[in-house]
């Protein structure tokens, strides 16, 4: 879990610095559907309904894909898992850095916090499951690699199946982003922190 955290947020921090210091180049790695949010001003209220829908769908789909790839990537000895975490961190950091560079750091918090705390938590756990799978191949101990992988796959799959419904909850929150934004930044942050607290509370309780 710690390695997944470093890969995701370490790359995000470096990418944010890149976005701040070289915005022209950094913009090039941002997918087209995310770019309306990079404009100065309040990114959500200034986006058209179609842009809002495209942005919401793109973020939700991306995070589901990253979580699944992070888990399934364990079969490549964890290499694909690490790349998925690095790429998602790159995307998160570049968008944050570009919005901050444009004087819209508050807008970034508004866009990502309500659903993002939970979604990033799911990505971390999916990444941890994938890395565990990968390590069972790299270091099988006294077992054969197949036996080691089969043993680890059961728990990794349980982690991923248990995490998947939370992505649906995050998607519902994301779909109501406009209503939350109207309630104010405090409500947006409150929802994000509350969902994250419930999720990690369950992690601590259930293991």
169 CB neighbour count, 10 Å cutoff? 16
pLDDT at 19 over 60: yes
Residue pair 70/130 in contact (Cβ under 8 Å)? The answer is: yes
pLDDT at 82 over 90: yes
For 39-76, how does the pLDDT look when each residue is reduced to its tens digit (9 = 90+)?
Answer: 766 555 666 666 666 666 777 777 788 888 888 888 88
Residue pair 26/17 in contact (Cβ under 8 Å)? The answer is: no
For 170-195, how does the pLDDT look when each residue is reduced to its tens digit (9 = 90+)?
Answer: 888 877 776 777 788 888 899 999 99
For 114-133, how does the pLDDT look when each residue is reduced to its tens digit (9 = 90+)?
Answer: 888 999 999 999 999 899 98
User: Please, where are the H alpha helices in 73-104?
Assistant: 79-101
pLDDT at 159 over 90: no
Give me the mean pLDDT over the 95-122 stretch: 86
Q: Which two tokens stand for residue 66?
A: 């990253």
pLDDT at 102 over 90: no
At 112, the pLDDT band (50, 70, 90 cuts) reads confident
Residue pair 188/110 in contact (Cβ under 8 Å)? The answer is: yes
Q: Coil, helix or strand for 40?
A: coil
pLDDT at 94 over 80: yes
Give CA–CA dist 140/6, Å, rounded. 24
Q: Which of the residue ranges 24-38, 109-123, 162-176 has the most confident prediction, judged by mean pLDDT? A: 109-123
pLDDT at res. 49: 62
Sequence-separated (6 or more) residues with CB below 8 Å from residue 106:
185
């Amino acid at each position: 879990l710690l390695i997944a955290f470093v890969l995701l947020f370490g790359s995000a921090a470096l990418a944010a610095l890149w976005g701040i210091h070289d915005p022209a180049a950094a913009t090039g790695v941002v997918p087209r559907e995310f770019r309306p949010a990079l404009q100065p001003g309040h990114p959500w209220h200034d986006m058209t309904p179609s842009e809002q829908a495209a942005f919401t769908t793109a973020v939700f789909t991306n995070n589901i894909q990253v979580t699944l790839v992070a888990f399934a990537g364990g079969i490549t000895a964890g290499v694909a898992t690490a790349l998925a975490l690095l790429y998602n961190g790159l995307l998160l950091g570049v968008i944050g850095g570009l919005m901050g560079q444009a004087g819209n750091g508050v807008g970034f918090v508004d866009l990502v916090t309500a659903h993002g705390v939970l979604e990033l938590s799911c990505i971390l756990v999916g990444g941890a499951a994938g890395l565990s799978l990968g390590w069972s191949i790299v270091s099988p101990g006294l077992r054969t690699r197949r036996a080691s992988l089969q043993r680890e796959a059961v728990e990794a799959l349980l982690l991923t199946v248990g995490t998947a419904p939370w992505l649906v909850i995050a998607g519902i929150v994301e779909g109501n982003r406009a209503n939350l934004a109207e309630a104010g930044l405090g409500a947006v942050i409150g929802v994000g922190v509350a969902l994250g607290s419930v999720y990690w509370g369950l992690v601590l309780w259930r293991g």
